[in-house]
Amino acid sequence: MRVKISRRAQRSIERIDVRWRKEADYPEIFRGEVDEVIEQLETVSGPGTPCGTAARPHLKRVLLEKSKCHVYFVVNEREQWIEVIQIWDGRRQDRPKL
């Protein structure tokens, strides 16, 4: 399945990556996890945990274990693509506006 990254998600990846590279003990962890999960989304059947919203009932997410960020995405089975719409730090108290 083809994975697309929305502009919003790309900005989040860049912002979080900068913060990790500045502040983390292991600065390459976040970007490595993002790359791994994108590869996984391309190859695994039925990835993620459902976490739908009123606007996006088919929304799913995957937790990046080490960085504790969530990758939010939607799957289009008919057209065989997945769109990553947001990356969000799972340690935050609130959820992203999706």
Domains in the chain, start-ordered, CATH in brackets? 2-89 (3.30.2310.20)
- Residue entry with tokens 């912002």: 15
pLDDT, tens digit (0-9, with 9 covering 90-100), for 30-58: 999 999 999 999 998 889 999 988 899 99
pLDDT mean across residues, the chain: 92
The mean pLDDT value for 58-63 works out to 95
In degrees and rounded to multiples of 5, residue 18 shows phi and psi of -60, -45
Contacts of 27 (CB under 8 A, 6+ apart): 20, 21
Predicted confidence at residue 6, as pLDDT, reads: 97
DSSP H or E run through 67:
none
Distance, in Å, from the CA atom of 92 to the CA atom of 53, rounded to the nearest integer, reads: 18
Higher pLDDT, 64 or 24: 64
Look at residue 5 in the predicted model and tell me its pLDDT: 97
What pTM value is reported for the model?
A: 0.91
Mean pLDDT of 59-73: 95
Give CA torsion, residues 67, 72, 75, 76, to 10 deg.
-130
Give the angle 90-3-65 at the CA atoms, nearest 5°.
Answer: 25
Would you state the structure tokens that stand for residue 1, as one six-digit string?
A: 């399945």
Comparing 18 with 46, the larger pLDDT belongs to: 18
Residue 92 has pLDDT above 90, yes or no: no
